[in-house]
Amino acid sequence: MRRILAILLENEAGSLSRIVGLFSQRAFNIESLTVAPTEDPSLSRITIATKGNDKILEQIVKQVNKLIDVIKITDLTERSHVERELLLIKVLAMSDKSRTEVKRITDIFRGAIIDIGKQTYTIELTGDAEKLNAFISTLANETEIIESVRSGCVGIARGEKALRVK
Amino acid sequence: MTKELFSGAELVVKTLSALKVKYLFGYPGGTVLDIYDAIFRQNDVEHILVRHEQAATHMADGFARATGEVGVVLATSGPGATNCITGIATAYMDSIPMVVLSGQVPTGLIGDDAFQETDIVGCSRPIVKHSFNCRKVADIPNTIAKAFYIASTGRPGPVVIELPKDILMPQFTAEFTLNSEINIRSYNPTVKGHHRQIKKAVQAITQAKRLVIYSGGGVIIANAAALLTQLVEKLNAPVTNTLMGLGGVSGLHDNFIGMLGMHGSLEANKAMAHADVILALGARFDDRVTNNVKKFCPNANIVHVDIDPTSISKTINAHIPVVGLVDIVLEQLLTELDEKQFSINEQENQAWWQQIAQWRAVKSVSYEQTDGKIKPQRVIEAMYEATQGDAYVCSDVGQHQMFAAQYYPFAKPRQWINSGGLGTMGFGLPAAMGVKLAFPDSHVICITGDGSIQMNIQELSTCLQYNLPVVIISLNNRSLGMVRQWQDMVYGGRHSSSYMESLPDFVKLAESYGHVGIQINALDELEEKIQQAFAIKNRLVFVDVLVDENEHVYPMQIRTGAIDEMWIKKGVKA
Ligand SMILES: Cc1ncc(C[n+]2csc(CCOP(=O)(O)OP(=O)(O)O)c2C)c(N)n1
Ligand SMILES: [Mg+2]
């Protein structure tokens, strides 16, 4: 089962490498990982999308928690949450027809064309993983994909629930 | 008034002294010469110069295991630091409090592949509890204090601190200030067991018909042996110890049913397999204990007490997990039992003990003196007799280690010192040296083999320099016995690289290092010469005992079987 883990940790040299090292050392899966400082610059927040059964997930959560500079970890997928990922994608858009078609698909998915080259469009889209996948395969049917980059997902719990220090 | 200023190197030594560190085990080199200079100019902290940095880590480790204090190591950058890796991993696997101070190239050169630059924090990351890259002179005291705190609290473990050369040099100075309290917002290990879990645990224990207490290294680390014994007696429960937990309850206690696991006693493994409740205390269901996890004790309700939540339900699912320090949880359990005015069900308890008596009667831990050859087991018995059971026994890794664990009953915790988790050959001698330093008036034995002893033999030189008269007893079977045993059992007797054709003359070797060497090659002189070795005071004695090279360690679990499926002796199943 796919899980999204949110981790709050000290924003210090080496803390990210400890997390990444832990996952590879214990053969835990990382589907995606994002990291950035929070509004409090002494803290970083990592979101990891991973796969595993309940037993593996329990170990992942405990092992991450055991790292000295981790303050908190939570499994967002346990409760209702919001999940977003950013996609930047460059596609071939040469003919009028393909330009119109790419524009139309982008509108339907509520994306935005953010750059135009002589023969290309660069599009930005946010959404959950499923939406991004659907967008990419729809585009692929219409034109050639030249390059794409995904941020990996970030997530936050719905309602009052929050991941913060105390 | 202006405050006094110190160099980084001086701050290192001042901090160690403030933390009451008596010994620092290390080896000098370019990046730490300022620290060595600072050591030279004071008398609080004594530096022990080893002959190889690996030995420094094992010495610090042995010191820590025997005393419960943090062992401290100092090494230079690059090769000095990488030589520490095996010792750090050894301490990590057995949860030993250790702080390793490693030099590093000057800050400005980090990342340039400078001379003797190694990313030691990166290299050691998977085998430390935590590590620090110290980058400012003023940070040195509190970084070291934090490292000590982390190393010694919760589940103990090694902590590495990397100190670049420039912040140690006299050009940069800072005041010496140590925070009176250490506060790490992201590190607050649980101490007390949750009261609801304690209630559940007591309920399970008191309703058990066939209870077994399975105790591990956590009981030793937490100094909980007396409390464990109290609980064992209150419940009249059978108790088994892991290899790391020997001495947690006296090996001579009536309720002790032996070590469990791969080379454990039949009664211990049988009792585990037939238990309806297993109370695991500071043990981690290691694969050398459980054998095939799929067949592990299917009928047992498992209560698992451990300070480390990751140990709980990692390999074996716990029905009642209790996270907390073993000593505190034991107190909680005892109090709860008193409050419940618990008394044991005599009938059920008797029936359980009768069953265990039948397994005990097999005498699975025994050997036959068939010919005139010296059996390794007999050497351990002679060693026990000569020391009247009152010695620190520090072991290397192999058959000799298992024989020592089986045939030397440990009456007290911290008496048995071995690398159980990593199984590091070469651990025994330096560990024994660390123990001897801490307890110069006690018998300290290094039990070893012809293979293991050669992995840190150079430390015989350190023993002379610092007058560390340990007694080395080498069960010399002219082979890597444990490897050979597996080759006999699993690889059709093909002894691929498991025997040694070019052993040194260990007696002469010991003598050339300035020690006493004794060789024993006849059974009828065994006892006398062992006695003689222990009678020599103030000299290191190396006893080279030529033992039967064909002896195997039994009993032994049958691979892929259940915990209690065992070979009792060659070709005989339980
Ligand atoms: C550093 C290291 N390398 C290899 C091994 C694998 N190993 C385990 S026991 C053993 C043989 C040990 O030989 P010896 O010290 O003579 O002890 P014996 O088994 O003969 O009593 C070996 C090679 C190990 N445990 N540690
Ligand atoms: Mg040998």
- Domain ranges in chain B are 6-174, 195-360, 376-553
Say if ligand 1 is within 6 A of residue B397 CB: yes
Residues from chain A that touch B125, judged by Cβ atoms under 8 A, are 14, 17-18, 21
CB B291 within 8 A of CB B563: yes
Which of B85, B422, B425, B506, when mutated, tests ligand 1's pocket best, judged by the most ligand atoms within 8 Å of its CB?
B425
Q: Concatenated DSSP letters for B243-257? A: TTTTTSS-TT-TTEE
Question: Which position among B53, B162, B267, B551 bears the catalytic label?
Answer: B53
C-beta atoms of A68 and B186 within 8 A: yes
Measure in Å the smallest separation between the Cα of A149 and chain B Cα atoms: 29
pLDDT at B341 (0 to 100): 86
3-state secondary structure B368-416: CCCCCCCCHHHHHHHHHHHHCCCEEEEECCCHHHHHHHHHCCCCCCCCE
Interface contact A68-B309, CB threshold 8 A: no
- Ligand of minimum distance to the alpha carbon of B477: 2
Query: Do residues A123 and A49 touch, judged by C-beta distance below 8 A?
Result: no
Mutation site, A24, A42, A62, interface B, largest B CB count within 10 A: A62
Ligand 1 atom nearest residue B426's Cα: 1
How far does residue B463's CA lie from ligand 2's centre (Å)? 23
Contact (CB<8Å) A59/B186: no
Residue B482 known to be catalytic? yes
The Cα–Cα gap between B69 and B96 comes to: 9
- CB of B420 closer than 6 angstroms to any ligand 1 atom: no
Cα of B281 vs centre of ligand 1, distance in Å, is 29
Contact B318, B291 (CB under 8 A): no
Pairing, β A81-92 against β A145-150: antiparallel
CA distance linking residue A70 with residue A31, whole number of Å: 20
Domains and CATH numbers, chain A: 2-78 (3.30.70.260), 82-154 (3.30.70.1150)
- Inter-chain touch A68–B308, beta carbons under 8 Å: no
CATH code assigned to B376-553: 3.40.50.970
Residues 6+ apart with CB under 8 A from B482: B397, B398, B399, B402, B553
> Could you confirm whether B465 is annotated as catalytic?
no
Neighbouring C-beta atoms of residue A134, cutoff 10 Å: 12
Quick one: angle between helices B140-152 and B8-18, nearest 10? 40
How many angstroms separate the CA atoms of B443 and B448, rounded? 16
How do residues A103-132 score in pLDDT, each as one tens digit? 999 999 999 999 999 999 999 999 999 999
CA distances from B459 to B60, B110, B234, B251, B388 (A): 14, 33, 46, 31, 27
Minimum-distance ligand 1 atom for the alpha carbon of B452: 15
Please enumerate in sequence order all residues whose Cβ is within 8 A of that of B40, keeping only pairs 6 or more positions apart, or say none.
Answer: none
The two domains B6-174 and B376-553 share their CATH topology (first three levels equal): yes
In the predicted model, residues of chain B with pLDDT beneath 50 are: none
- Report the 10 Å Cβ neighbour count for A159: 8
Task: Give the E-state strand segments of B3-54 in sequence order.
Answer: 6-7, 23-26, 46-49
What pLDDT score does B296 carry? Answer: 96
Mean pLDDT throughout A136-144?
97
Q: Which residues 6+ apart lie within 8 Å of A44 measured at CB? A: A8, A9, A10, A11, A15, A16, A35, A36, A37, A38
Looking at the DSSP bridge assignments, the partners of residue A14 are none
- Can B115 be counted among the known catalytic residues? yes
Which of B116, B230, B355, B458 is labelled catalytic? B116
For residues B497-529, one letter each, b for 16 or more C-beta atoms within 10 angstroms of the residue's C-beta and e for the rest, the string is ebbeeeeeebbebbeebebbbbbbeebeebbeb
**CA B447 to centroid of ligand 1, rounded, Å:** 13
For the segment B75-91, what is each residue's pLDDT rounded down to a tens digit?
A: 999 999 999 999 999 99
* Catalytic-residue membership of B485: no
Q: What is the pLDDT of residue B1?
A: 60
How far is ligand 2, taken at its centre, from the CA of residue A11, in Å? 50
CATH topology for the B195-360 domain? Rossmann fold (3.40.50)
3-state DSSP assignment of residue A116:
strand
Number of A:B CB contacts under 8 A? 36
Ligand 1 mean position to B338 CA, how many Å?
A: 47
Q: Is B6-174 assigned to CATH 3.30.70.270?
A: no
Q: Average pLDDT, whole number, for chain A?
A: 96
Q: Is B388 a catalytic residue?
A: no
* Omega cis (within 30) before B164: no
- ipTM summary value: 0.94
Q: Do B314 and A18 touch (CB under 8 A)?
A: no
Q: Taking CB atoms and an 8 Å cutoff, what residues of chain B touch A17?
A: 122, 125
How far is B283 from B216, CA to CA, in rounded Å?
4
Q: How many CA atoms lie within 13 A of A103 on its CB side?
A: 10
C-alpha atoms less than 13 angstroms from C-alpha of B107 in its C-beta half-sphere: 10
Q: How many CB atoms lie within 10 A of CB B236?
A: 15
- pLDDT value at position B3? 85
A165 contacts on B by Cβ (under 8 Å): 185
- Ion ligand 2, residues whose Cβ is below 5 A away: B 449-451, 477, 481
Q: Which residue of A has its CA nearest to B131?
A: A14
Q: Whole-model pTM above 0.90?
A: yes
Confidence of residue A82 (pLDDT cuts 50, 70, 90): very high
Quote the tokens at residue A47.
């979101």
All residues of chain B having their beta carbon less than 8 Å from the beta carbon of residue A59 are 310, 314
